[in-house]
Amino acid sequence: MTAGRIQKKTSVILIGAGIMSATLGSLLKALAPEWEIKVFEKLAEAGEESSNEWNNAGTGHSALCELNYTSEKPDGSIDISKAIKINEQFQLSRQFWSYLAGSHLIRHPQGFIRPIPHMSFVQGGKNVSFLKKRFETLSSHPLFQGMEFSDDPEKLNEWIPLIMEGRASNEPIAATKINSGTDVNFGALTRSLFDHLKNQNVEIDYKHLVKNINRTSDGSWEVKVKDSENGKIEHHMAQFVFIGGGGGSLPLLQKTGIPESKHIGGFPVSGLFMVCSNPEVVARHHAKVYGKAKIGAPPMSVPHLDTRYIEGKQTLLFGPFAGFSPKFLKTGSNLDLIRSVKPDNLLTMLAAGIKQRALTRYLIQQVLLSNEKRMEELREFVPNAKSADWDTVVAGQRVQVIKDTEAGRGTLQFGTEVVTSADGSIAALLGASPGASTAVYVMLQVLEKCFPEQIKAWKPKIKEIIPSYGVPLAENPALLREVRTATARTLGLN
């Protein structure tokens, strides 16, 4: 370490101004308000990568409509354990957002969360019988109360006229609907949280690219940052660093050199949405409708037709179409993937390359789809869709984690992974799904892993902010009712 280079030592450095850093910073400000926090973000504003409203699907994932969270067991029954877990995690987010809004720390919750029915829609006899069984299992569970099922075309016409119009009547179809779903504008939420952090004296340095992270002799971390306005290099120190760089987290984690960063790789998946530009069509749909992934398609490319609230307007998006791009961020470099291959993860990456040939082929096919081919996929949802009414927008990049697991070397992971050093002084968030919706749960995990000494003292405050912290709501119907009612009132979800 060169004398004179260090600007200042802070308690915490957060890298990246996405929803994850925003959530961790806000939790820390509630629990340890005296801690000094600094944020470095390479772009000019907060929430410009995956957390931006145009870069993700804005679904408040709580397993109300996503069919990939419930699987059919060999005996034909439906396994809903993953759905329960994800729903419980979303309830933690709702409570934290509700605390922030109720305490006037963030304003106008309707600017980032709106109620919207969540629906699942299937075609074909086998899928209809799966959906019916799924409905029967879920709807009797307290977390999923209020779910309805119908295979009656007249009812479906009432629920989803756009999807029913022009549809051949001979194929069995069915849908479930639950009105307690949400559309979350994660971009607006991220910006609100960073406004709140700024009000709490958090220093947020935009246009600052983190280039390196090194451990210092006293066990802290030195972060090398480039100010892209003047090209100057700065060095900052912190006792705790969170790498919340989204797709950019893996390369930064690798720079730390911690043993936990080894044998991990990343597989980038790009995305694309179709956006409806005809207000008459937009006005005729009012739901998030999730279908079933095509055979061979990865879970993140489950097609869905979504009412969204973006830039103060109701809009309609279809997708995402997955694709392949070697970039780790939308604003990343074509060399990201190749540069992430290191001697320690080479075999892991090669094994994944061999195993995932079918996925790579699928993604390349998706990239090569013409607009008309995409329209054909959209017409499976909206039979009368007109090409002139739909444009395309490029969505965010997801970097799926590749690691060696019991299932073998180079296994692709579809969830999120928190990687922490053994002493808890640095943590990184990798992976993408279920993503922003579960940011509060994931960041609470970071706090538990990285601050084992403080967490005991913080617990009463965490329980005050998030009453269901540590309590399964599925087993506490009274508390579930209480938090649902209170959060719906504060967030305007009634």
Ligand X SMILES: Cc1cc2nc3c(=O)[nH]c(=O)nc-3n(C[C@H](O)[C@H](O)[C@H](O)COP(=O)(O)OP(=O)(O)OC[C@H]3O[C@@H](n4cnc5c(N)ncnc54)[C@H](O)[C@@H]3O)c2cc1C
Residues that bind ligand X (CB under 6 A): 15-21, 40-43, 48-51, 55-59, 61, 186, 209-210, 244-246, 248, 252, 271, 320, 329, 395-396, 398, 429, 432, 434-437
C-beta of 156 vs 189, nearer to ligand X? 189
C-beta of 49 vs 377, nearer to ligand X? 49
C-beta of 149 vs 194, nearer to ligand X? 194
Considering the complex, what minimum distance in angstroms separates the CB of residue 249 from ligand X?
A: 7
Residues whose CB is less than 8 angstroms from the CB of residue 370 and which lie 6 or more positions away in sequence, other chains included: none
C-beta of 56 vs 425, nearer to ligand X? 56
Residues 62 and 147: beta-carbon distance below 8 Å: no
Considering the complex, what minimum distance in angstroms separates the CB of residue 438 from ligand X?
A: 7
C-beta of 271 vs 298, nearer to ligand X? 271
Considering the complex, what minimum distance in angstroms separates the CB of residue 43 from ligand X?
A: 5
C-beta of 250 vs 385, nearer to ligand X? 250
Residues whose CB is less than 8 angstroms from the CB of residue 488 and which lie 6 or more positions away in sequence, other chains included: 494
Considering the complex, what minimum distance in angstroms separates the CB of residue 57 from ligand X?
A: 3
Considering the complex, what minimum distance in angstroms separates the CB of residue 476 from ligand X?
A: 25
How far apart CA 416 and CA 400 sit, in angstroms, is: 8
Phi, psi values for residue 382, rounded to 5°: -120, 90
Considering the complex, what minimum distance in angstroms separates the CB of residue 356 from ligand X?
A: 18
How far apart CA 342 and CA 338 sit, in angstroms, is: 9
How far apart CA 390 and CA 378 sit, in angstroms, is: 10
Considering the complex, what minimum distance in angstroms separates the CB of residue 226 from ligand X?
A: 9
C-beta of 266 vs 396, nearer to ligand X? 396
H or E element: which one contains 317? strand 313-323
Cis, bond preceding 320 (omega within 30 deg of 0): yes
Considering the complex, what minimum distance in angstroms separates the CB of residue 434 from ligand X?
A: 6
Residues 314 and 145: beta-carbon distance below 8 Å: no
Q: Pairing relation of β-strands 203-205 and 37-40?
A: parallel
Considering the complex, what minimum distance in angstroms separates the CB of residue 208 from ligand X?
A: 6
By the 10 Å C-beta count (0-12 exposed, 13-18 middle, 19+ buried), 400 is classed as: buried
| 367 CB neighbour count, 10 Å cutoff | 13
Structure tokens at 57: 């699907």
Considering the complex, what minimum distance in angstroms separates the CB of residue 87 from ligand X?
A: 13
| 230 CB neighbour count, 10 Å cutoff | 7
- Whose CA is closest to 474, among 483, 485, 466? 483
Show the 3-state SS of 343-359: CCCHHHHHHHHHHCHHH
Whole-angstrom Cα Rg for the chain? 23
How far apart CA 203 and CA 14 sit, in angstroms, is: 10
Which neighbouring-strand residues pair with 131? Answer: none
By the 10 Å C-beta count (0-12 exposed, 13-18 middle, 19+ buried), 315 is classed as: middle
C-beta of 323 vs 467, nearer to ligand X? 323
C-beta of 53 vs 389, nearer to ligand X? 53
Considering the complex, what minimum distance in angstroms separates the CB of residue 184 from ligand X?
A: 7
Show the 3-state SS of 30-96: HHCCCCCEEEECCCCCCCCCCCCCCCCCCECCCCCCCHHHCEECCCCCEECHHHHHHHHHHHHHHHH
C-beta of 442 vs 480, nearer to ligand X? 442
C-beta of 66 vs 389, nearer to ligand X? 66
